[in-house]
Structure 1
Amino acid sequence: MTDNPTAAPVAVTLTAGPTGPGSIDDFELFYARRAVNRFRERLGRQGLLDLLAADIEEGNAFLRQSALDSDGRFTGGTTVLTTQGLKADSFLAWMERAFAGDEAVLLAAHPEHYVMTNRADGTPHVVENIGPHVCSFYMGGWGAEATAWAADADEVLPESQFPYKMSSNLFLEDGTVVGRVLIQFGDTEDGFASHLTVYMPASCPEEVLEHHMRHFAVEFRNWITAAAAARS
C-alpha cells in the first residue's frame, strides 16, 4: 500500500443506483468497519493476541531498540481537532466510562485497534499499530496527575484555555518507555478543541510519528462522534 491512500490515477463518480445517502467512500468505510468488527468478535481478545503474537514480538523489538538508540530523547507531533456541538467535559466523561471497561467501543474507533483493556491494577493495556508495527504496550500516569516530563513539555498550552490535560508514558512489559502522550482539551464558543500530542523515540523514522498523528485523528474523531451519539 502507498503512504498516501487517497491518491488515485482516475476519478470515478457515482451517478445512479443506491438511494441512501453517502458516497462510495462512505459505503466502503461502512463495510470495512463491519468486516473488521466481525473478525474481532469471532477471534476474541486472546484469539487476536495469538494471531498477532509474532507481529507483536517484532514490533516491540523495534520500539525497544528505538528507545535504546534514542537514549531518552523523544520527538513530538500534534494533531489538532475542532468539534462543534459538544463540550470537552461531556466528551471526557464519556471517555472515562469507556476506558473503565467498554472495550468494544474503544476498539471500534480504529481498524488497527486490537486490544484495549485494563490490567488488574487498572493500568491500560493497548495492542495497536505504531506506524507499520503492531505493538503491545501499557500506559502510566493517565488521568489528573501529570508525569514530570509533561509539566515542562514545549507543547503544554495555557491552563486558562486548555484546563483538561492528560499525560502518559507508553511502556513495554519490561518497563522500557517507548513513547509518551500529552492530550489537552479546551472549550470553544460552540464546542471544544483537542490538541493530541504523541512522542516517539527520536531515532524512529519520520513515518512512525506521521502515522500516529493520523491514527490520533481517526480514533479521536470516532470517539468524539460516539460520545455525541451516546448523549443524544
Structure 2
Amino acid sequence: MTAVEVRTVISGHDVSRAEVLAWEAARLPKAATRIGLAVPPGELAHQRLRFAEAKLALGPDEIRRRLSGALRASDLSGRATARLSRGRRVTSVCDLHVTGGDTAAFVDWFMATDRPDYERSMMAANPDHFLITTTSQGLQEVIETTGGSPLPSRFLIDYQDLASLRTPLDPTYTADASGVARSESGLPIGGVRHQFRDTDSGFHAHLVVEFPRLLPSHLVQQHQWHLAVEFTNWIEAAFRGSADSWS
C-alpha cells in the first residue's frame, strides 16, 4: 500500500481536498433523490460506500427503469446539441498532482475491468454515477449526471475508434485513457482524453472531457468538480489496496 496525497487544480487555481469533498457531499442527496433511494446516514466516507451498494443492489435493469424518463429527455437534448455543434467541442479540464504512487500502477488499476471490485469502485467514486458496466460489444455503458446537468444521461464509451476526438495526445504524457462517448444510435456526442505521466514525487493526471460546443458553460465548468471527485477517490482507492478500497 502506498500513501498518496492529491493536489487539485481547476481553472488554474488550487482547490483544497475539503472543497472537493464538500462538492461530493452536496451532490449525494441530489443523486439519491433522482434514483429514489434514501440518503445513507453517517460521515461522507460511509455514505459513499452505502450509496454505491444500494445502487448496485438495484441492478442495471432497475436503474435504467427508474431513470428512463430522464434518460429519454437527456438523449433528445444531447443529440440535438451535438448535431447543432457540428463536431465542435468545448473541454472540461482538471489537473491532479499526486504525491506517491505512479502512472503505470494507477492506469492498470483503472482500466482493469476484470477486477472483482471494478463496478463497486466505479459506482462509489462519485454519487452521480448510476451505472458503469461493460457491454457484450466491449463498450462501456455509463449512466451518470455530468457536472451540473439537471438530468442524468446514458452514453457508450468506445475506447477503440477515437477518430472524432478533438484533443490531441500530448507526447509528454506516457499513458492515456481515451474514449469517444456515443449515443445509443452511435452518434459521437463527446469523449475523454485523460493523460498521465510520472513526476519526481508521484504522477500528474491531466483530465479532459469533450462536450458539444453549444453546451452551456456552467455545465462544462461544474464537470471539472465531477472529475476532481471521481479521480481523487479512484486514486486514493487504487493505492490503498482492493481489500479496503471502499471501507
Which TM class, normalised by the smaller chain length? Answer: 0.7 to 0.9
1:116 matches 2:132: yes
Structure-to-structure mapping, 1:73-152, within 5 angstroms:
73-98=88-113, 102-130=118-146, 131-140=149-158, 142=159, 147-150=162-165
1:211 matches 2:225: no
Write out per-residue CA displacement over residues 64-96 of structure 1, whole angstroms, 9 at most, x where no aligned residue.
111121111111121100111100100011112
Looking at structure 1, the residues matched to 130 and 85 of structure 2 have their Cα atoms a distance apart, in angstroms, of 27
**Conserved? CA contact 1:168–1:182, under 8 Å:** yes
| 1:129–1:229 Cα change, 3 Å | same
Structure 2 residue matching 1:94: 3-state secondary structure: helix
TM-score, normalization: structure 1?
0.79
Task: Report the identity percentage.
Answer: 27
Give the letter aligned to residue 225 of structure 2: R
Aligned-residue offset at 1:215: 1.0
Aligned-residue offset at 1:203: 0.7
TM-score, normalization: structure 2?
0.74
Structure 2 residue matching 1:229: 3-state secondary structure: coil
Aligned-residue offset at 1:98: 3.9
* 1:220 aligned partner: 231
* 2:180 aligned partner: 169
Looking at structure 2, the residues matched to 119 and 47 of structure 1 have their Cα atoms a distance apart, in angstroms, of 17
Give the letter aligned to residue 70 of structure 1: S
Provide the aligned length of Structure 1 versus Structure 2.
203
**Conserved? CA contact 1:132–1:208, under 8 Å:** no
Looking at structure 1, the residues matched to 152 and 136 of structure 2 have their Cα atoms a distance apart, in angstroms, of 23
Instruction: Report the structure number with the largest CA radius of gyration.
Output: 1
**Conserved? CA contact 2:49–2:124, under 8 Å:** no
Looking at structure 2, the residues matched to 215 and 111 of structure 1 have their Cα atoms a distance apart, in angstroms, of 10
Give the letter aligned to residue 106 of structure 1: M
**Conserved? CA contact 1:128–1:135, under 8 Å:** yes
Structure 1 residue matching 2:239: 3-state secondary structure: helix
Structure 2 residue matching 1:133: 3-state secondary structure: coil
Write out per-residue CA displacement over residues 30-79 of structure 1, whole angstroms, 9 at most, x where no aligned residue.
34324423431442222111111111111111111111211111111211
Looking at structure 2, the residues matched to 228 and 132 of structure 1 have their Cα atoms a distance apart, in angstroms, of 33
- Alpha-carbon RMSD: 2.5
Give the letter aligned to residue 153 of structure 1: T
Looking at structure 1, the residues matched to 200 and 109 of structure 2 have their Cα atoms a distance apart, in angstroms, of 20
2:83 to 68, 90, 115: 68
